[in-house]
């Protein structure tokens, strides 16, 4: 049995616990089959934590998150907590985790599975085989820059303002991660800003270009953010890894997500700085929310969460083969025509969350013999 891998599971609210149960099915199978054991701790976050403790995240759970190798998060929120004070709202738990773990890099893959090519709003030939990665800076930029505010001027008029600001270090660390990721994929990195109209964009381009020499195997190109939005819907397959700031990344990653056609299929990872041993703080979560409209009915698609776990294996545990196995199992299950309600097409019968989880594990078993 290999060394334990410490995993903190925070299932959260709504469909969070239902989809996370399917990840448990995968880890149980791996423990039985693949001689890998996970040292799993579970905790509360979001509304579930508020109900139990009066806040969206306890200090104990925060300390657990800082000490484990990786955190798997389901989803938080729901109408039940809409009137809770802002600092205790379910999202506050998520924001605290991201902030205190200093998760500065958000990875959002956009992959179109062959069987779901028709689910995209774009023509099949544009998206078939699509596999791109958007790397978004998550802890700086205009969402955090100072000064910011809404003020009244001496003439009585009012103005609202934010500040787009990046230090060289903040740009360099996300860019280096971009080069590393591109190096492990097809070796192409697109750095995106608006150097044509923003000083921070000129600076971003200067810093990214300045370190390109350290990655001779990666081809670096630059693109303005508005053009990138256009190119993502015109010819998305031209990209491999896109690295960009917080604001542009927010918009471009949602745009790329929709190329794949379904919220229930989209995983994500958020990574922090590597320590001397190369270990990074990391949190993995599906892109979707807690889907209160379908919660508790065994209807949710667990694939986004299962694929987030595959990312966890790849980036936190260096278990790329196992990540590949999960992704192949998902591909095959979809290829065999199994669908949850959100991705079902005409003439097909939707299966439950549980049945999808079971089918993926059965396929992993089949693939490994
Ligand atoms: P949502 O992502 O929860 O749901 C949007 C729509 O997509 C709903 O119709 C839902 O049924 C469907 N959907 C989402 N995930 C699905 C899945 N796995 N399988 C099948 N269908 C799925 O977004 P929302 O409705 O805007 O927000 C609901 C709650 O979730 C809110 O409280 C919001 O604040 C919260 N939220 C949390 C996160 C997070 O935890 N990271 C992200 C977004 C929204």
Helix runs in the chain, H state only = 16-33, 47-53, 59-67, 90-100, 124-127, 168-184, 199-211, 225-234, 246-259, 303-315, 320-335, 353-368
pLDDT digits (tens, 9 = 90+) for 58-105: 999 999 999 999 999 999 999 999 999 989 999 999 999 998 999 999
Q: Residue 309's CB: how many other CB atoms inside 10 A? A: 27
Least confident among 51-65, 282-296, 339-353: 339-353
- When pLDDT is cut at 50, 70 and 90, the band that residue 3 belongs to is low
Cα separation of 67 and 59, whole Å? 12
Q: What pLDDT was estimated at residue 1?
A: 42
Q: What percent of the chain has pLDDT over 90?
A: 88
Mark whether 143 is an active-site residue.
Answer: yes
- Which residue has a Cα nearest atom 25 of ligand 1? 291
Q: Is the pLDDT of residue 335 over 90?
A: yes
From the list 194, 287, 182, the residue with the least C-alpha distance to 239 is 182
Give mean pLDDT, residues 20-47: 93
Q: Which atom of ligand 1 is nearest to the CA of 292?
A: 28
Q: Which domains does the chain have, with CATH numbers?
A: 1-109+262-369 (3.40.718.10), 131-259 (3.40.718.10)
- When pLDDT is cut at 50, 70 and 90, the band that residue 211 belongs to is very high
Specify the higher pLDDT residue, 346 or 8.
8
Element (H, E) at 224: strand 219-224
Which conformational region is residue 191 in: left (phi greater than 0), alpha (psi within -120 to 50 degrees), or beta? beta
Q: Which atom of ligand 1 is nearest to the CA of 285?
A: 41
Q: What pLDDT was estimated at residue 198?
A: 98
Mark whether 99 is an active-site residue.
Answer: no
Mark whether 226 is an active-site residue.
Answer: yes
The CB of 76 under 6 Å from ligand 1? The reply is: yes
Cα separation of 87 and 50, whole Å? 11
Cα separation of 192 and 183, whole Å? 18
Cα separation of 42 and 352, whole Å? 24
171 neighbors 206 (Cβ within 8 angstroms): no
How far CA 336 is from CA of 114, 241, 329, in Å, comes to 11, 30, 10
pLDDT digits (tens, 9 = 90+) for 225-263: 999 999 999 999 999 999 999 999 999 999 998 898 788
Cα separation of 293 and 281, whole Å? 32
* Token pair 């991201």: residue: 98
Structure tokens of 144? 């955090």
The CB of 289 under 6 Å from ligand 1? The reply is: yes
pTM over 0.85: yes
Mark whether 250 is an active-site residue.
Answer: yes
Q: What pLDDT was estimated at residue 274?
A: 85
Q: What pLDDT was estimated at residue 127?
A: 96
Give mean pLDDT, residues 100-117: 94
Terminal C-alpha separation, the chain: 20
Pairing mode of beta strands 280-286, 267-274: antiparallel
18 neighbors 302 (Cβ within 8 angstroms): yes
Q: How many CA atoms lie within 13 A of 224 on its CB side?
A: 8
What residues are paired with 339 via a beta bridge? none
The per-residue pLDDT of the chain, averaged, comes to: 95
The CB of 292 under 6 Å from ligand 1? The reply is: yes
- When pLDDT is cut at 50, 70 and 90, the band that residue 2 belongs to is very low
């Amino acid at each position: 049995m290999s060394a334990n891998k410490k995993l903190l599971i925070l299932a959260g609210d709504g469909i969070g616990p239902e989809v996370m149960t399917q990840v448990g099915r995968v880890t149980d199978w791996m423990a039985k089959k693949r001689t890998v054991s996970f040292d799993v701790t579970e905790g509360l976050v979001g509304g579930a934590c508020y109900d139990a403790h009066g806040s969206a995240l306890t200090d104990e759970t925060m300390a657990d998150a800082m000490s484990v190798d990786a955190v798997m998060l389901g989803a938080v929120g729901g109408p039940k907590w809409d009137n809770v004070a802002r600092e205790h709202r379910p999202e506050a738990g998520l924001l605290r985790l991201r902030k205190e773990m200093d998760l500065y890099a958000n990875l959002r893959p956009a992959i179109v599975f062959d069987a779901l090519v028709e689910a995209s709003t774009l023509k099949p030939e544009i998206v078939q085989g699509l596999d791109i990665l958007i790397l978004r800076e998550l802890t700086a930029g205009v969402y955090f820059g100072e000064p910011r505010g809404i003020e009244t001027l001496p003439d009585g008029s009012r103005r609202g303002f934010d500040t787009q600001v990046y230090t060289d270090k903040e740009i360099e660390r996300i860019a280096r991660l971009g080069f590393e990721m591109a190096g492990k994929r097809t070796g192409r990195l697109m750095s995106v800003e608006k150097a044509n109209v923003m000083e921070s964009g000129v600076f971003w381009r200067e810093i990214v270009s300045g370190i390109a020499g350290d990655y001779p195997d990666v081809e670096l190109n630059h693109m303005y953010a508005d053009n990138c939005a256009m190119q993502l819907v015109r010819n998305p397959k031209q990209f491999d890894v896109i690295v960009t700031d917080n604001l542009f990344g927010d918009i471009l990653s949602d745009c790329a997500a929709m190329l794949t056609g379904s919220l229930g299929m989209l995983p994500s990872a958020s990574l922090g700085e590597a320590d001397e041993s190369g270990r990074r703080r990391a949190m993995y979560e599906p892109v979707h929310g807690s889907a209160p409209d379908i919660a508790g009915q065994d209807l949710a698609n667990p694939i986004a969460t299962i694929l987030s776990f595959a990312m966890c294996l790849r980036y936190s545990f260096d278990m790329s083969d196992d990540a590949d196995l999960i992704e192949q199992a998902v591909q095959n299950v979809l290829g065999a025509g199994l669908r949850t309600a959100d991705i079902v097409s005409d003439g097909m019968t939707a299966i439950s969350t549980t049945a999808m989880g079971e089918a993926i594990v059965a396929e992993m078993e089949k693939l490994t013999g």
